[in-house]
Each structure stands twice: as structure tokens, then as C-alpha cells.
Structure 1
Amino acid sequence: MERKVKYNYEFKLRCVQEVLRKHRSVNSVAYENSIASSNLNRWIRFYIEFGNEGLLPRHKNKNYSVNFKLKVIQAIENKSISLSKACLIFNIPRESTITSWQRKYGIEGITGLQLKPKGRPSSMNFKKRKQRKTDKPLTREEELLKELEYLRAENEILKKFNALVQAEQAKQNKRLKP
């Protein structure tokens, strides 16, 4: 499933060409097309650096290696380059991506740059006994234990049902008595 692209390639190219070829101001083109001038500036920078490919939609949630992240952070610190310039050099879509790397690196060090598992854990811990996965027939004792577990669960369900019925009857009695 691809992400929804807010501005298509043709729209971006038309806006960039209005600024570069028709020598119109960034603000006037942005205002006329109802876009943020910062977006248009970013499109222009990527168009100048990468050509038409700079305006193509990028993959969202791309995973970068720890070494790559560290290389970007060190380049910014050592060479004193801006975030926008680093985005151009390393072909990173947003400055906020680098900012989050810097924040995590400042707090946790290199471990903060490692990929974290996302979503629910693949295996959950069950307190109940695990199901048998062997083809061996159950021993008589195991069969009895399994039946006992089933009967206890059935008994609990019946007790809860009985309690609900009694509560409903008590409610009915209260309504009938003045």
C-alpha cells in the first residue's frame, strides 16, 4: 500500500519551472497555487540537485542504517552544514528526520540510532497451559486432567450465568414492589 501523494509530479514540475524559467518569485507562485513557500523552496533545491527525479515521490518510512545516520550527524557537526544542505547531499526527504536522529543520538548515543521493533510483539505469553503439538495419544492421567480443566471452566460459566439470572430477578422484584 503506497502513501497518498498530496502533490503529483506534474504539479511540482510546473511550479518549479515557473520559478526557474519564467523568473517568478517563490512567494507569488506558492500563493497562486496554495502551497507553502517552504515546500516550493525544497522542491526547487531537489530539482536543481537531482533533476526531474528530485520531484518524484519518495518512499515513506525508509529504514536507514546506523552507520548512515551516524555519517549524516557527523557530517553536519564536522563540516558545519545546514540541515537542508545535508538533506540534499544525502538524499533525505525531510529535515525533521535528521533532527530526530540528532535528538536520539544526543540522549542515548549510538544505541538511539538503532532500529526499534514496531508494533505488537510476535509472541505473547500465555499463562494457561500450552497445547500439545505431538501426535502421541494422551495418557489416561492427561485425559482426566484435560477433562477436569474443561469441567471447571464450564462450572465457572454456569456460576456466572446463574448470578446474572439472580441479579435480573432481583431487579424485577424491586420494580414490582412499591
Structure 2
Amino acid sequence: MSEATRTRTHAPEVRQRAVEILQEGVGHRALAAELGIPQATARQWARAYAVGGADAVLNAGSHHHTYSYDVKLAVVKDRLENGLTVREAMIKHKIPSESSVKAWCRQYRESGESALVDKPRGRKPRVKKAE
């Protein structure tokens, strides 16, 4: 796997320093410059911080959250019909993941409300053959 496609994890010290910088009200560009991290990462951390505070940055990705159909639909409607920005929708609904909001909006545009219903995951159960 190439260096460019590998997911990077950041040391707890880097995340802690990011929280300290974000507490000062610094924007994501200055955060990226200060820590030497990509602007996309800094923007993601700044949005997560706005939603969930220090814990959302320090523990990002350590917990898999699932959201109900109603929450997903409310986020999508606020974003697409009420004109909220991604950040505003994240904060209003306490969704720390920008990618989740964007994915739900994309799925809704492509397939409608039914695309937001959770589908069973994993291997399909084996059907026993009648003898």
C-alpha cells in the first residue's frame, strides 16, 4: 500500500495539542499550519470539536456510532431543504462526522428516503435445504 493511500493516525499528543489550539478559537488553516497536518484533517477536527468538544477530537474514530432513520432524515432535510451548511447540520444534530452527513445527503439524492434505512450487515444466513 502506498504512503499516499494509507490512513494516518495521529499521536494522542498531536490531538491534545489540537484541542488546546482549538480552545483558543483558531481556525482550521492555522491549526493545520501549526501542527503540520493536512487542512482536511484540521477542518474535520475543528468540526468535530464544534460538535462534541475535546472528547470528539481526542477519541475520534474510536467508537462506531449508528443513527436512527429519523435522525438521518432530519439531518438531510436540514441540509438540503433548509439550507444548513454541513457544519451547521453537524452541530444542530450532534453528528461529529462530516463524512456521515455528506454520505446521507448523497444517498438521499440518489435513492430517496429509503436509502437512509439501515440494511443488515454481514454474511447472509444459510438456508437449510429440506431433505
* TM-score where L is the length of structure 1: 0.54
Matched, 1:102 2:105: yes
1:109 shift after superposition: 1.9
Q: Sequence identity, in percent? A: 25
Question: Counterpart in 2 of 1:174?
Answer: none
Question: Counterpart in 1 of 2:95?
Answer: 92
Q: List alignment gaps of at least 5 residues for structure 1.
A: 130-178
Q: List alignment gaps of at least 5 residues for structure 2.
A: 1-7
CA distance 1:124–1:72, shift in 2 (3 Å) = same
**Cα deviation 1:75-115 (Å, max 9, x = unaligned):** 11233111133223222232221222122222322211111
Question: Counterpart in 1 of 2:3?
Answer: none
Question: Counterpart in 2 of 1:39?
Answer: 41
CA distance 1:86–1:15, shift in 2 (3 Å) = same
Residue 25 of structure 1 aligns to a residue whose secondary structure is helix
Question: Counterpart in 1 of 2:80?
Answer: 77
Rg bigger for which structure? 1
Structure with more contact order per residue of length (Cα contacts < 8 Å, sep ≥ 6): 2
Q: After superposition, where does 1:138-153 map in structure 2 within 5 Å?
A: none
Q: After superposition, where does 1:11-160 map in structure 2 within 5 Å?
A: 11-18=14-21, 21=24, 25-31=30-36, 35-58=37-60, 59-60=63-64, 62-126=65-129, 129=131
Write the distance in 1 (CA, Å) between the matches of 2:97 and 2:86.
9
How many residues are paired up? 120
CA distance 1:115–1:77, shift in 2 (3 Å) = same
Q: Conserved in 2, the CA contact under 8 Å of 1:104 and 1:113?
A: yes
Q: Conserved in 2, the CA contact under 8 Å of 1:9 and 1:55?
A: no
CA distance 1:20–1:63, shift in 2 (3 Å) = closer
Q: What RMSD in Å do the two structures reach over aligned CA positions? A: 2.9
Amino acid at match of 1:57: N
Amino acid at match of 2:125: S
Amino acid at match of 2:66: N
Amino acid at match of 2:44: R
Write the distance in 2 (CA, Å) between the matches of 1:47 and 1:96.
15
- In terms of fraction of residues, the more helix-rich structure is 1
Residue 79 of structure 1 aligns to a residue whose secondary structure is coil
* TM-score where L is the length of structure 2: 0.70
